[in-house]
Amino acid sequence: MERREATGKENMGTKKKNLTFLRPRLYMLERRKTDTVVDSSVSGDHSGTLRRSQSDRTEYNQKLQEKMTPQAGASATETLTQEEHQMQRMMAKRSKIIKELIQTEKDYLNDLELCIREVVQPLRNKQIDRLDVDSLFSNIESVHQISAKLLSLLEEATTDVEPAMQVIGEVFLQIKGPLEDIYKVYCYHHDEAHSVLESYEKEEELKQHLSHCIQSLK
C-alpha cells in the first residue's frame, strides 16, 4: 500500500515537471500562430481579446498605410499651394510697382512739358531785359528729352508683355549714362537758379512776368 502511494507521488511529480517544461514551449508556439491586434472594447462583447493570424495583421498594416498615404500627399499639395499663392502675391506686388513707376514718369514728363510750354517758352519769347531764362531753368529741355526717352523705353519693355517676363532693370542700365550727364548739369545749376529766382522776385516788373506764368500753370 505504501509502495503504491509512493509510486503515485513520483508519477505526479514527473507530470508536474513535464508540464513545467512544456508550458513555455506551448506558449511560444501559440504566440507564433496568433498575434493580438485589437482588444475587445465593444459594449456587451465579453468574448475577450480578438486574435488574427500573421497574414491578417500584414493586410491590416497595408490598409493602414494606404490610409496614411493620401494624407501625406495632401500635405505636400497644401505646401505647394501655399508656395504658389506666395509667388502670385509677389508677382502682383511687382506688377503694381512697375505700373506705379511708369505712371510717375508720365506725371513727371507732363509737368515738364507744362512748365516748358507755359513758362519757359513765353519768357523767352518776351525777351525781357535782366531776365536770364537759361540761368533760371538751366537745361530743362534736355531733362524733358531724356525723361521722354526713359518713359518710352519703359513702355516698350512692358506693353503686351506678361508681368513675369517684364524686365525693366535693363532699361535703366541702358539709359544710365545719358541720365547722369544731363542731371549732373541740372543739379549743378540748381542753387544758382534758386538765387536768381529770389533776386527776380525783388523786382516788381520781373515778378509780374513770373506771376503771370504761374497763373497760366494753375
How high is the mean pLDDT of the chain? 76
Read off the pTM: 0.60
The superfamily (CATH) of domain 82-216 is: Dbl homology (DH) domain (1.20.900.10)
Contacts of 203 by beta carbon, 8 Å cutoff, 6+ apart:
130
What are the tens digits of pLDDT across the range 33-69?
444 444 444 444 444 444 445 555 566 556 655 655 5
Q: What is the mean pLDDT of residues 64-92?
A: 68
Phi-psi region of 127 (alpha: psi -120 to 50; beta: other; left: phi over 0): left
Q: What is the pLDDT of residue 61?
A: 58
Q: Say if residue 179's pLDDT is above 90.
A: yes
Task: Give the span between the Cα atoms of 103 and 148, in whole angstroms.
Answer: 13
Q: How confident is the model at residue 214 (pLDDT cuts 50, 70, 90)?
A: confident
Q: What is the mean pLDDT of residues 207-211?
A: 83
Q: Say if residue 80's pLDDT is above 90.
A: no
What is the residue extent of each domain of the chain?
82-216
Q: What is the pLDDT of residue 12?
A: 52
Q: How confident is the model at residue 114 (pLDDT cuts 50, 70, 90)?
A: very high
DSSP 128: -
